[in-house]
């Protein structure tokens, strides 16, 4: 059984998601050099440190600014029997090889609990009102896992249909606090609800850096302006003197500096 | 394993910490039945007032410190005085006991609660939180800054002699000696040295720059504020006037250890 991590990245005018994917792939390789990493993208112009690459032929996000329209295609394009999918604005800061064993009993898994940079479980629902108020599975598609089988195929076919007909599903499944734009978190939550997918409470999590959910008394619009960031020569990350571990979802693109990428390159190569 | 309590007392012009320590030691004997050692720079004066409350006096030089602090006596009186709080980092080396509890001298022992420390099986116990005796006036600082590390309160703590704790207290001393650096590194606005901050930073560092599991002393750390006034003490009962919104409310507390922030009223009630 082949296993690997798949990243989907397409640049837009404002953001270099391919650089983010490259940094994430380097961080994965730094922690576990034998882990397979696959990039799904729309161009052949990228820094290559991947084991597999897939160039999208039918790019549904061609004219879009926020390019999430192709994300359901991971099922079709993954070269692996077991796949972990990660948002590209993440870094892997510890070895996560044990995740494969933890996930081996599942067909499909989404992270349901996330934590702050101080390792506190996030209970704040500021960004999750659509999920809570409409009784949707409170899942995070920032990290998910699937096996290639018929059930999961059906799941992704449904996600495709939801993404292409978002307003209809949104009206059908949300009475209040509707998501106003197509969100992959919401689309996958719709699919889980329709198919009654039982998401296990496997303790796989990631650090979620959206600023409103960091258990601060004072509000900061950007965490990168609120915290001291230290990325050491040996690629350890400290935020206000807290050593970051496991998977770090930075969410703010200005976090990823050329210095961080250079240090990842130096440590990996 | 030898067990005992370590008290630190360095007087300033208004507050007689040595008399507080003698009173505190008498309560320790009454409720805990433990050996007491006093660390002080005023040995002759201490000897002149101690009867049999303190078993051992450890002489040290008065810690070098430029710390000043505002000491309140209720709502209407306050004075800025020197605050000699810099000796705590030495308690590992100074303590003659294998299992030690360090207590602020303004902590009134009213129960045997602290004896639970010795049976905890832990090498270190220190509170992460305190409780206001008049609930909901102020909330205890949970962190040294809003975005920073957890706050630990050095009012009362327990430690054993162990390699790990030797490293901890050496680190606390290092933080104290380089306090300006650590204060900036940890974004502490307050300029005066506080043991609470030094302990909090050291515990965070020694746990791999990560949050610790709870190592609180069993029971709550009850605290009154410096605007409160201790009126009377009888046996294990304490009578206070507790201030809220510039009004005073009487309250009696029984069988409970309490940290008294108004040192003047403590002095009056204990006749020290």
Structural domain boundaries in chain A: 3-268
**Alpha helix locations (H) across chain A?**
17-31, 74-77, 98-103, 129-133, 150-164, 166-173, 184-194, 223-226, 258-268
Of A119, A227, A228, the CB nearest to B210: A119
pLDDT in tens, B209-258: 999 999 999 999 999 998 999 999 988 999 999 999 999 999 999 999 99
What was the ipTM of the complex prediction? 0.87
At B28 the pLDDT is 97
Q: Would an 8 Å CB–CB cutoff place B136 in contact with chain A?
A: no
- Least confidently predicted of A51-60, A223-232, B30-39: A51-60
What per-residue confidence (pLDDT) applies to A59? Answer: 74
Of A8-12, A51-55, B160-164, the poorest mean pLDDT is in A8-12
Higher pLDDT, A70 or A224: A224
3-state helix, strand, coil in chain B (%, to 5): 30, 30, 45
For the segment A77-135, what is each residue's pLDDT rounded down to a tens digit?
999 999 999 999 999 999 999 999 999 999 999 999 999 999 999 988 888 999 999 99
Are A241 and B209 in contact (CB < 8 Å)?
yes
- CATH 2.40.480 is right for the domain spanning A3-268: no
Of chain A, the percentage scoring pLDDT greater than 90 comes to 82
| CA-based nearest residue in chain A for residue B141 | A217
Residue with tokens 């112009």: A45
**B96: contact with A, CB 8 A cutoff:** no
* Torsion sign over Cα B182, B187, B192, B196: negative
Burial of B144 (0-12, 13-18, 19+ CB in 10 A): buried
* Other CB atoms within 10 Å distance of the CB of residue A64: 14
Which domains are present in chain B? 3-224 (3.90.550)
Query: Is pLDDT above 60 for B120?
Result: yes
B210 touches chain A (CB under 8 A): yes
- Confidence label for B86 from pLDDT (cuts 50, 70 and 90): confident
Nearest to A243 among B147, B186, B209 (CB): B209
Q: Which of A66, A71, A80, A24 is nearest to A47 (CA)?
A: A24
A48 Cβ neighbours under 8 A, 6+ residues apart = none
pLDDT in tens, A22-61: 999 999 999 999 999 999 999 988 898 999 999 998 877 6
Query: Distance from B148 to chain A by nearest Cα, in Å?
Result: 6
The answer to whether A130 touches A178, Cβ cutoff 8 Å, is yes
Name which of A185, A182, A169, A168 is nearest A131 in CA terms.
A185
Whole-prediction pTM: 0.91
Total residue count of chain A as it appears in this document: 269
The confidence band for B70, taking pLDDT boundaries of 50, 70 and 90, is: confident
Smallest CA–CA separation between A146 and chain B, in Å?
A: 32
Residue B272 has pLDDT above 60, yes or no: no
Determine contact, residues B104/B155, Cβ cutoff 8 Å. Answer: yes
Q: Do A240 and B148 touch (CB under 8 A)?
A: yes
Rounded distance between C-alpha atoms, residue B186 and residue B167, angstroms: 20
């Amino acid at each position: 059984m082949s296993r690997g991590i798949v990243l989907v990245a397409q640049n837009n005018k404002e953001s270099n998601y391919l650089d983010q994917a490259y940094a994430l792939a380097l961080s994965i390789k730094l922690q576990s050099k034998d882990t397979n990493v696959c990039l799904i993208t729309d161009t052949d112009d990228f820094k290559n440190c991947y084991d597999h690459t897939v160039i999208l032929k039918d790019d549904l996000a061609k004219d879009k600014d926020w390019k999430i329209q192709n994300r359901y295609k991971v099922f079709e394009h993954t070269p692996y029997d077991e796949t972990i999918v990660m948002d590209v604005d993440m870094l892997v800061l510890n070895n996560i090889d044990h995740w494969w064993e933890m996930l081996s009993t599942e067909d499909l898994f989404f992270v349901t609990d996330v934590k702050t940079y101080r390792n506190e479980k996030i209970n704040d629902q500021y960004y999750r009102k659509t999920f809570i108020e409409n009784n949707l599975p409170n899942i995070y598609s920032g990290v998910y896992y699937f096996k290639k089988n018929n059930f999961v195929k059906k799941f992704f076919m449904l996600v495709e249909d939801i993404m292409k007909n978002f307003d209809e599903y949104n009206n059908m499944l949300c009475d209040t606090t509707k998501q106003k734009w197509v969100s992959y978190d919401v689309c996958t939550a719709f699919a889980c609800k329709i198919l009654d997918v039982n998401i296990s409470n496997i303790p796989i999590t990631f650090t979620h850096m959206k600023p409103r959910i960091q258990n601060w008394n004072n509000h900061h619009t950007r965490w990168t302006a609120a915290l001291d960031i230290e990325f050491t020569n040996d690629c350890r990350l400290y935020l206000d003197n807290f050593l970051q571990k496991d998977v770090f979802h930075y969410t703010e693109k200005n976090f990823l500096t050329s210095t961080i990428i250079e240090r990842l390159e130096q440590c990996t190569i | 394993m030898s067990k005992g309590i370590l008290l630190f007392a360095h007087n300033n012009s208004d507050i007689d910490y040595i008399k507080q320590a003698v009173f505190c030691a008498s309560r320790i004997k009454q409720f805990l039945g433990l050996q007491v050692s006093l660390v002080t720079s005023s040995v002759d004066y201490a000897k002149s007032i101690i009867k049999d409350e303190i078993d051992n006096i450890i002489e040290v030089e008065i810690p070098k410190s430029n710390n000043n602090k505002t000491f309140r006596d209720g709502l209407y009186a306050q004075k800025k005085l020197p605050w000699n709080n810099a000796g705590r980092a030495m308690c590992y080396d100074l303590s003659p006991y294998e299992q030690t509890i360090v207590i602020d001298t303004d902590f009134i022992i009213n129960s045997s609660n602290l004896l639970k420390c010795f049976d905890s099986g832990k090498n270190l116990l220190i509170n992460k939180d305190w409780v206001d005796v008049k609930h909901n006036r102020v909330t205890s600082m949970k962190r040294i800054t809003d975005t920073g590390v957890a706050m630990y309160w050095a009012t009362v703590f327990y430690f054993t002699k162990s390699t790990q704790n030797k490293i901890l207290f050496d680190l606390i001393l290092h933080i104290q000696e380089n306090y300006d650096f650590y204060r900036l590194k940890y974004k502490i606005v307050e300029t005066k040295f506080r043991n609470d901050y030094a302990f909090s930073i050291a515990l965070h560092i020694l746990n791999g720059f990560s949050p610790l599991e709870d190592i609180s002393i069993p029971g709550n750390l009850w605290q009154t504020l410096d605007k409160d006034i201790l009126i009377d003490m009888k046996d294990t009962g304490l009578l206070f006037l507790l201030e809220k919104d510039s009004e005073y409310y009487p309250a009696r507390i029984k069988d409970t250890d309490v940290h008294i922030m108004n040192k003047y009223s403590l002095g009056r009630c204990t006749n020290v």
